[in-house]
């Protein structure tokens, strides 16, 4: 059985860290984001097809040197094709029913149980569902008592919402769904394909699960997934190998070969490999990139500091991004603002 993992996006809301790496390789608790997803795959899945576009070489190099226990195929798209186009572009590797998963979702969905649910319902398509509080910010499903989805309603008023359940980013599809997708086109699975499957088959179901669901699409949610998982694992913080920590860590994750000076305090933050933080530094709700250097006495709150950046001693920053290097060719040009609050 195959799983297609959608991992081709630029991850613009996670800049500046996606200027230098594929979004799916961003570390979460010192392991690539995509590894966390692969650990949730059931034994029935023996082949993973990675739909990639941006930074394909990084992803390919990583999986050439790391064994995840599955056959991994890096399937480079000639251009971004959307969720539907990416799935269709991988159809040569599909041998039967298959999963489609988003690389940037960290959740507690039991995919083996989802297969059993799909079988029980004799579904053509089953998607995972998650409840939200503010329905007007999402597209929600209209769902029957037996779990059949009849339509999607985009950003309804609370009083008009048929449910509080949203598409949670995991799909289990029968191969006939591929027939609905025109090859080589930019296609949205959610907006263009799923409504057709609903209308034509009447066998489109929703699988609800409990636990947690985090869309790691922004700097704020990237920090949150770390603090959440640390709490889940009952760890006050996490450090990698070969670190020298002379300061205080709280609800934070530190990579390999990181130096933190005396009387520095790191709170609810993520520090990448080989970063150097001086003495008397305060870091609160920040992400600091690889090989960055933070001078003595700096005070940072809600700040994203890119790889290889240097902050002179005494720097005070809040609600901003630090990136003084060239933006990679072809990277979407978007105005840089308050990336923490986006």
Whole-number Å distance between alpha carbons of 173 and 151: 17
23, 88, 122, 155: which one is catalytic? 155
Residue-wise DSSP of 240-296: -TT-EE-SEEESEEE-TT-EE-TT-EEES-EE-TT-EE-SS-EEES-EE-TT-EE-T
Report in angstroms the alpha-carbon separations of 54 from 27, 236, 262.
Answer: 17, 35, 40
CA angle 71, 169, 118 (to 5 degrees): 75
Element (H, E) at 194: helix 194-201
CA dihedral over 149, 150, 151, 156, signed as positive or negative: negative
Report in angstroms the alpha-carbon separations of 31 from 36, 137, 253, 291, 292.
Answer: 7, 31, 11, 18, 19
Whole-number Å distance between alpha carbons of 79 and 58: 17
Phi, psi of 244 (to 5 degrees): -120, 105
Contact between residue 93 and residue 174 where contact means Cβ atoms under 8 Å apart: no
Phi, psi of 338 (to 5 degrees): -80, 90
155 has catalytic annotation: yes
What are 238's two structure tokens?
Answer: 């996490």
Whole-number Å distance between alpha carbons of 161 and 60: 43
Report in angstroms the alpha-carbon separations of 26 from 5, 208, 225.
Answer: 15, 28, 12
Whole-number Å distance between alpha carbons of 89 and 181: 10
Contact between residue 91 and residue 54 where contact means Cβ atoms under 8 Å apart: no
Q: Which residues are catalytic?
A: 155
């Amino acid at each position: 059985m195959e799983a297609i993992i959608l991992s081709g996006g630029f991850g613009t809301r996670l800049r500046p860290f996606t200027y230098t790496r594929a979004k799916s390789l961003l570390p979460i608790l010192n392991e690539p984001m995509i590894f966390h997803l692969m650990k949730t795959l059931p034994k029935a899945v023996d082949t993973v097809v990675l739909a990639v576009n941006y930074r394909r070489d990084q992803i390919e190099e990583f999986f050439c040197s790391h064994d995840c226990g599955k056959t991994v195929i890096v399937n480079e798209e000639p251009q971004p094709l959307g969720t539907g186009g990416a799935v269709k572009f991988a159809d040569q590797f599909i041998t039967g029913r298959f999963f489609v998963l988003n690389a940037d979702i960290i959740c507690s969905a039991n995919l083996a149980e989802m297969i059993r649910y799909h079988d029980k319902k004799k579904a053509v398509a089953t998607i995972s569902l998650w409840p939200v509080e503010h329905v007007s910010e999402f597209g929600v499903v209209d769902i029957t008592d037996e779990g059949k989805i009849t339509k999607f309603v985009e950003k309804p008023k609370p009083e008009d919402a048929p449910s509080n359940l949203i598409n949670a980013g995991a799909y289990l599809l029968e191969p006939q769904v591929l027939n609905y997708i025109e090859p080589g086109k930019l296609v949205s699975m959610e907006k263009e394909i799923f409504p057709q499957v609903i209308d034509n088959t009447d066998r489109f179901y929703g699988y609800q699960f409990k636990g947690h669901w985090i869309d790691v699409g922004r700097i704020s949610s990237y920090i949150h997934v770390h603090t959440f998982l640390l709490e889940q694992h009952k760890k006050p913080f996490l450090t990698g190998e070969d670190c020298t920590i002379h300061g205080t860590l709280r609800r934070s994750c530190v990579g390999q070969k990181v130096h933190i000076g005396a009387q520095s305090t790191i709170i609810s933050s993520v520090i990448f490999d080989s970063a150097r933080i001086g003495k008397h530094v305060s870091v609160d709700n920040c992400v600091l990139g690889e090989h960055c250097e933070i001078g003595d006495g700096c005070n940072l709150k809600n700040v994203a500091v890119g790889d290889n950046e240097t902050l002179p001693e005494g720097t005070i920053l809040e609600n901003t991004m630090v990136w003084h290097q060239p933006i990679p060719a072809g990277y979407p040009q978007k105005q840089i603002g308050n990336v923490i609050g986006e």
